[in-house]
């Protein structure tokens, strides 16, 4: 049973989570994210469509500005999506050998706030 965000950091692929685990982790994640000024997101998925759908669900759930897709692969297969709120960019590249899931990194506007990473969360975590 996953009871803390820290337990996820040692995983290569997002675990299957029960409804109770999702609820508890959502509350904890929202609390942690409040301390950050901006975010970078990584989505590891089997297809470009799934990666983009998972990321857009995260944007919607957080009320974030929708980032434009500035670069994307046309290849079929596994991908890595990288979104950066500071630069306002969203890119998707082909990437083999990754796990599956959503990684969220919180950042501060100055050097006094260290970056923090959470995840991997299941691709459907924010649906």
**Tens digits of residue pLDDT in 34-93:** 999 999 999 999 999 999 999 999 999 999 999 999 999 999 999 999 999 999 999 999
Domains by residue range for the chain, with CATH? 5-121 (3.30.360.10)
Q: Would you state the structure tokens that stand for residue 13, as one six-digit string?
A: 């692929």
CA distance 56 to 78: 18
Task: Give pTM, 2 decimals.
Answer: 0.96
Beta carbons of 93 and 9 less than 8 angstroms apart: no
Q: Which helix (H) or strand (E) holds 54?
A: helix 48-62
Compute how many other C-beta atoms are within 10 angstroms of the C-beta atom of residue 15.
15
Size of the chain, expressed as the number of residues it contains: 127
Q: Is the peptide bond before 120 cis (omega within 30 degrees of 0)?
A: yes
- What is the model's pLDDT at position 100? 98
**Tens digits of residue pLDDT in 97-127:** 999 999 999 999 988 888 999 999 999 999 9
| Residue 6 burial (C-beta neighbours within 10 Å; 0-12, 13-18, 19+) | exposed
Nearest to 119 by CA among 17, 13, 35: 13
Beta carbons of 52 and 8 less than 8 angstroms apart: no
């Amino acid at each position: 049973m996953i009871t803390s965000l820290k337990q996820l950091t040692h995983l290569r692929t997002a675990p299957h989570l029960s409804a109770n685990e999702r609820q508890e982790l959502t509350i904890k994640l929202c609390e942690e994210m409040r301390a950050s000024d901006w975010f970078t997101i990584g989505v590891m998925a089997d297809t470009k469509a799934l990666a983009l759908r998972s990321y857009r669900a995260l944007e919607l759930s957080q009320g974030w500005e929708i980032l434009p897709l500035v670069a994307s692969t046309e290849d079929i297969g596994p991908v890595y999506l990288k979104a950066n709120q500071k630069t306002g960019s969203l890119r998707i590249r082909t990437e083999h050998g990754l796990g599956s899931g959503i990684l969220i990194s919180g950042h501060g506007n100055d050097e006094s706030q260290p970056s923090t990473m959470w995840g991997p969360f299941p691709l459907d975590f924010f649906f």
